[in-house]
C-alpha cells in the first residue's frame, strides 16, 4: 500500500507540475519586453517540466525498488537542475547583472561534473548510501555558495530599495524572501532525505505532496509579480546602476 501511494503521488505531482508549466507558458509572450522576468518564468517552466519528467521516470521504472542508487542519482540530478534555474532566474530579479555568459559556462561545467559524479555511483553499485552521499557534495557545495550569493544580494538590494523609497515594490521584496526560502529549504532538504532514505517510500510521498504545494505558491507568486513587473524592474535596475556608480567612485 505504501508503494502504491508513492506511485500515485509521483503521477499526481507530475501532472500538477506540467499543468503549472503550461499555465506560465500560456502568458509568456506578454512579458518579452521584460527580459529578466521573462527569463525567470522560462527557468521556472523548465524546472517544472524537468521535475515532472523525473517523477515519471521514477514511476515507470520503479527505481526505488529495483535500483536505489539510480533513484538517488536521478533525484539529485533534477534538483541540481532546479538549483541552476533558481540561480539563473531568481537571483537576477534582484540583480539584473548577475546573469552572464561566465555564469552560464561555469554552472554548466559544474553540472556536468555533478552528473558524472551522481551517476558513477549507480553504475558501480546497485545500492551504496555512503558513496551516494559523497557524490551529493557537489550539489550541496553549489547550493551553499549560491545560498550566500542570494542572501547577500537580497539584503543589499532590499535595503537600497527601502532607502530609495521604492515602497510600492515591498510586496515583491517579501515574496522574493518567502519564495526563495521555500525553494532553498525544500531543495536542500529533499536531497538530504534522498541520501538518508534511499529505499523508503513514505518520505518521498510526503515530499511530492509538499513539493507540489511549494511549487504552486511559487508559480502563483511569480504570476502576481507580473502586475508590478515594470515598477520592480525599474527599481532593481536603478539599484544596480546606483551600486555600479558607488563602486566606480569608491
State whether residue 166 is helix, strand or coil. coil
Check pLDDT > 60 for residue 120: yes
Q: What pLDDT is recorded for position 249? A: 47
Lowest mean pLDDT among 109-123, 192-206, 207-221: 192-206
pLDDT digits (tens, 9 = 90+) for 25-76: 999 999 999 999 999 999 999 999 999 999 999 999 999 999 999 999 999 9
89 versus 229: the higher-pLDDT residue is: 89
CA–CA distance from 52 to each of 21, 70, 196 (Å)?
10, 17, 23
Q: Which CATH class for the 2-249 domain? A: mainly alpha
Check pLDDT > 70 for residue 216: yes
Q: Is the dihedral of CA 208, 122, 145, 34 positive or negative?
A: negative
- Helix/strand number for the chain, H first, E second: 11, 0
Give the C-alpha separation, 205 to 199, whole Å.
12
Q: Where are the domains of the chain?
A: 2-249
Q: How confident is the model at residue 176 (pLDDT cuts 50, 70, 90)?
A: confident
Q: How confident is the model at residue 246 (pLDDT cuts 50, 70, 90)?
A: very low
Task: Categorise residue 165: left if φ over 0, alpha if ψ from -120 to 50, beta otherwise.
Answer: left
Span 180-209, average pLDDT: 84
Give the C-alpha separation, 136 to 195, whole Å.
8
Do you know the residue count of the chain? 250
Three-class DSSP labels, 67-92: CHHHHHHHHHHHHHHHHHHHHHHCHH
Output the nine-digit C-alpha cell for 157: 538590494
Residues contacting residue 209 through CB under 8 Å, at least 6 positions apart: 9, 13
Amino acid at each position: 500500500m505504501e508503494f502504491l501511494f508513492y506511485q500515485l503521488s509521483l503521477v499526481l505531482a507530475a501532472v500538477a507540475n506540467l499543468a503549472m508549466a503550461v499555465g506560465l507558458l500560456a502568458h509568456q509572450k506578454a512579458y518579452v519586453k521584460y527580459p529578466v522576468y521573462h527569463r525567470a518564468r522560462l527557468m521556472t517552466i523548465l524546472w517544472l517540466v524537468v521535475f515532472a519528467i523525473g517523477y515519471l521516470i521514477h514511476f515507470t521504472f520503479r527505481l526505488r525498488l529495483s535500483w536505489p542508487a539510480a533513484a538517488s542519482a536521478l533525484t539529485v540530478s533534477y534538483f541540481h537542475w532546479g538549483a541552476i534555474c533558481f540561480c539563473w532566474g531568481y537571483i537576477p530579479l534582484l540583480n539584473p547583472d548577475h546573469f552572464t555568459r561566465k555564469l552560464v559556462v561555469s554552472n554548466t561545467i559544474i553540472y556536468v561534473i555533478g552528473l558524472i559524479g551522481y551517476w558513477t555511483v549507480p553504475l558501480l553499485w546497485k545500492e551504496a548510501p555512503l558513496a551516494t552521499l559523497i557524490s551529493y557534495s557537489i550539489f550541496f557545495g553549489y547550493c551553499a555558495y549560491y545560498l550566500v550569493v542570494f542572501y547577500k544580494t537580497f539584503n543589499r538590494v532590499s535595503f537600497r530599495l527601502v532607502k530609495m523609497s521604492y515602497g510600492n515594490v515591498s510586496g515583491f521584496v517579501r515574496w522574493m524572501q518567502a519564495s526563495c526560502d521555500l525553494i532553498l529549504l525544500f531543495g536542500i532538504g529533499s536531497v538530504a532525505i534522498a541520501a538518508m532514505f534511499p529505499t523508503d517510500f513514505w518520505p518521498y510521498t510526503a515530499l511530492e505532496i509538499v513539493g507540489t504545494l511549494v511549487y504552486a505558491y511559487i508559480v502563483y507568486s511569480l504570476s502576481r509579480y507580473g502586475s508590478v513587473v515594470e515598477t520592480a524592474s525599474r527599481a532593481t535596475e536603478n539599484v544596480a546602476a546606483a551600486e555600479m556608480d558607488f563602486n566606480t567612485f569608491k
